[in-house]
Amino acid sequence: MKFTADFHIHSPFSRATSKALTPENLDYWARIKGLKVIGIGDFTHVRWLIELQNKLEPAEQGLFKLKKEFQKPHFLSNSEDPRFMLTTEISSIYKKDGKVRKVHNIIFAPDFKTVEKIRQSLLRLNCNIDSDGRPIIGLDSRDLLEICLEASKDIFFVPAHIWTPWFSVLGSKSGFNSIEECFGDLSGHIYALETGLSSDPAMNWMCDFLDRFLLISNSDAHSPSKLAREANIFDCDVSYNEIINVMKNPNSKKFLGTIEFFPQEGKYHYDGHRKCDICWDPVSTLKNKGICPKCKRKVTVGVMNRVAELSDRQDLSKRKNRFPFYSAIPLREILSEIYGVGVQSKKIEQEYFNCLRKIGPELDILLWTPLDQIKEAGMTTLVEAIRRMRAREVIVEEGFDGEFGRIKLFKPSENVTAVDDESLFADTVLSGGKQLSRRDILDFDLLEYRKLKDK
């Protein structure tokens, strides 16, 4: 069975997350988005655990579903009940080899018994797991992995958003230069890595040393409507063991790829200085020796630069285990561009649910619904928007130094709010940003970067 799964989300008990992240709402939003399997997140938190044990019931092996009496009414006629998987994220802050390390890891557990064992081990080590849903502990990532493996041989352990500067295994500020440096003798138990919102598979393909890992993607949602902004596509039996087995031994029949943000949208994609209006790709940063020409100070170095720094491959096509990835823009953002009003506005809220009612779940609309069917629903401009997004014909302005990037589907001159189809399809000149095409899986010249670096 073909389905999508989003394993990394948070509960209302994590810091800076929405109170609306209840099991009822997660069930509802999984349907809206078109997800079959979602992680419940934060399984180490005692109050969240009690709520889950009360509201969920067992489904297939290692999976759970919301009890009928808690389900919210919804309008998607043939939506199947979503399945929940027991997952959590833990933040480890510790010293190793004389440096402070901050690494986030995602843990998958096959049953509540294993969850309880992991909890008890952490409590014995005086880890504070009951104040924050995503606990911060002083335990080395390697030792945390060991505790999990002792709790069950069926656990699955995935370093989270691996390129985030401050909180990840390869992050420039507090991570390592390889997975092995972090996990040592237990590295063999790491099978998959989460690429995070700030990188996509193509960026990771630059790194030969990551070849043996499956690259997965999750939303890391802090509110229900953010579910599925990144996700994984499977074609296998729906059970915990089967899903984990596919991630341990992926093949193109059972792992169909990932759904991704355009990484350029990330706040720290490129390098630069926001105040000085300097935005550089890694090549420009090298050429300028990392110094801002306006203020003469060091520029803030972004994620793409860190990937380029660690990258050790010339030819991206040489990467084995390349799975397809689909770059998507959240439907609300597309509608916001089409209507020229804010993402949070009433208008967009209405149009969003209007689309879902007429066409189906959001992931279907973004990725799979035939364009003719969207046209039949009377949404001419949306058809063209979706076509361009699927073809990666988007206009990007990269994020840098804390400034979000922008991904647009229409040129300003196309004047889409007027919904005039003739101007929409006219080939007009770009006025800012650069156009990506399907062939541009990397948005800077890696070979030039290498040449300059080796000098």
Q: Which is nearer to Zn ion, 160 or 355 (CB)?
A: 160
Nearer to Zn ion, 127 or 356 (CB): 127
For residue 410, the minimal CB distance to Zn ion (Å) is 32
Q: Name 36's bridge partners.
A: none
> ∠ CA(172), CA(13), CA(34), 5° rounding?
80
CA distance 165 to 400: 13
Q: Which residues lie across from 408 on neighbouring strands?
A: 395
- In the complex with Zn ion, the residue whose CB is nearer, 294 or 451, is 294
Smallest CA-to-CA distance from 170 within 147, 141, 149 is with: 141
**Which of 100, 295, 371, 447: binder of Zn ion (CB under 5 A)?**
295
Does 294 bind Zn ion (CB under 5 A)? Our answer is: yes
What's the closest the beta carbon of residue 244 comes to Zn ion, in angstroms?
21
Q: How far is the CB of 371 from Zn ion (least distance, A)?
A: 36
Size of the site for Zn ion (CB under 5 A): 7
Minimal distance in Å, beta carbon 273 to Zn ion?
A: 3
**Do 36 and 82 form a contact (C-beta atoms < 8 A)?**
yes
Structure tokens, 354: 């209007």
Q: Which of 55, 273, 406, 411 binds Zn ion (CB under 5 A)?
A: 273
Minimum distance between the CB of residue 191 and Zn ion, rounded to whole angstroms?
19
Rounded least distance, CB 141 to Zn ion, Å: 13
Nearest to 326 by CA among 202, 211, 414: 202
Query: Which H or E element spans position 66?
Result: strand 64-66
Which one of 11-19, 271-279, 352-360, 386-394 is the stretch in contact with Zn ion (CB under 5 A)?
A: 271-279
Rounded Cα distance, 376 and 379, in Å: 7
| CB of 254 closer than 8 Å to CB of 60 | no
- Report yes or no: 72 and 24 within 8 Å, Cβ to Cβ: yes
Which of residues 164 and 336 has its CB atom nearest to Zn ion in the complex?
A: 164
Binding mask of the shown chain, residues 215 to 254, with x at each position contacting Zn ion by CB under 5 A: ----------------------------------------
By CB under 5 A, tell whether 8 contacts Zn ion.
Answer: no
Question: CB of 194 within 8 A of CB of 160?
Answer: yes
Q: Which member of 207, 292, 356, 382 binds Zn ion (CB under 5 A)? A: 292
Residue 18 near residue 26, CB atoms below 8 Å: no
- Write the interaction track for Zn ion spanning residues 152-191; mark x where CB under 5 A is met and - where it is not: --------x-------------------------------
298 lies in the binding site for Zn ion (CB under 5 A): no
Contact 371, 383 (CB under 8 A): yes
Of 92 and 381, the one with the shorter C-beta distance to Zn ion is 92
| 28, 36 Cβ separation under 8 angstroms | no
Q: How far is the CB of 354 from Zn ion (least distance, A)?
A: 34
- Residue 65 sits in the site that holds Zn ion (CB under 5 A): no
In 3D space, the residue among 5, 32, 2, 1 whose CA is nearest the CA of residue 258 turns out to be 5
Please report, as a single letter, which amino acid is at residue 265. Answer: E
Q: How far is the CB of 90 from Zn ion (least distance, A)?
A: 9
Among 276, 441, 442, 452, interactor with Zn ion by CB under 5 A: 276
Choose between 279 and 374: whose C-beta lies nearer to Zn ion: 279
Helix axes 331-339 and 380-390, enclosed angle (nearest 10): 130
CA 68 to chain CA mean position, Å: 30
Indicate left, alpha or beta for 427 from its phi (over 0: left) and psi (-120 to 50: alpha).
beta
Contacts (Cβ under 8 Å, ≥6 apart) of 41 = 8, 9, 10, 11, 14, 21, 87, 88, 89, 133
Looking at beta carbons only, is 302 or 360 nearer to Zn ion?
A: 302
Evaluate whether 336 touches 409 at the Cβ level (below 8 Å).
no
Q: Which is nearer to Zn ion, 13 or 64 (CB)?
A: 13
> Going residue by residue from 66 to 105, which x/- string records binding to Zn ion, judged by CB under 5 A?
--------------------------------------x-
Q: What are the start-end ranges of the H helices in 1-61?
A: 23-33, 46-55
Measured from the CB of residue 415, what is the shortest distance to Zn ion in angstroms? Answer: 35
Q: Which is nearer to Zn ion, 294 or 318 (CB)?
A: 294
Q: How far is the CB of 8 from Zn ion (least distance, A)?
A: 8
- Please give the residue ranges that form the binding site for Zn ion (CB under 5 A): 104, 160, 273, 276, 292, 294-295
